[in-house]
């Protein structure tokens, strides 16, 4: 049986509870929900990328990518992405940002499946994204 290992990129702080930013077992990598915090600076609290959906969406996607890469994966390995929004009115803008981001990623494989749901997040956070990757 393959070992289950935590994936924590250098850009991320230690999670605030008993969970991992990512978990890899065999060729499966699950990225936990990421939010739009700037890369971690030792001794500093998490800092939001900014107050706008644009800033948070682009930073959140980069945070997901950081976990993927730390786990040995890329966007081409991702089979499922879940986007969590706090406001239904943000869907069109998020979708445009999402499309633009992935247009620049140079994907060689089919794009991942995606689900978008609406949730409550801590004050100031507008978006959270998780991903499931299958390697090899």
- pLDDT for the residue 136: 87
Q: HEC string of 29-70?
A: EEEEEECCECCCCCCCCCCECCCCHHHHHHHHHHHHHHHHHH
Q: For Cα atoms 33, 116, 130, give the angle at the middle one, nearest 5 degrees.
A: 20
- Digit-coded pLDDT (tens) for 73-103: 999 999 999 999 999 999 999 999 999 999 9
Identify the pLDDT of residue 108.
93
Domains in the chain (CATH in brackets) are 4-134 (3.30.1330.40)
Look at residue 71 in the predicted model and tell me its pLDDT: 97
Q: What is the pLDDT of residues 1-46, one digit of tens each?
A: 689 999 999 999 888 889 999 999 999 999 999 999 999 888 888 8
pLDDT given at position 67? 98
- In this predicted structure, what is the pLDDT of residue 42? 84
């Amino acid at each position: 049986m393959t070992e289950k290992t935590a994936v924590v990129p250098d850009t991320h702080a230690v999670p605030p509870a008993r969970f991992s930013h990512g978990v890899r077992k065999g060729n499966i990598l699950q990225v936990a929900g990421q939010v739009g915090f700037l890369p971690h600076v030792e001794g500093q609290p998490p800092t939001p990328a900014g107050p706008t959906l644009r800033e948070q969406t682009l930073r959140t996607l980069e945070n997901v990518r950081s976990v993927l890469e730390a786990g040995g994966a890329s966007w081409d390995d991702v089979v499922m992405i879940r986007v969590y929004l706090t406001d239904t009115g943000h869907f069109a803008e998020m979708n445009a940002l999402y499309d633009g981001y992935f247009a620049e990623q140079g994907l060689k494989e089919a794009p991942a499946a995606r689900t978008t749901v609406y949730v409550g997040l801590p004050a100031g956070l507008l978006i959270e994204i998780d991903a499931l990757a299958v390697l090899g």
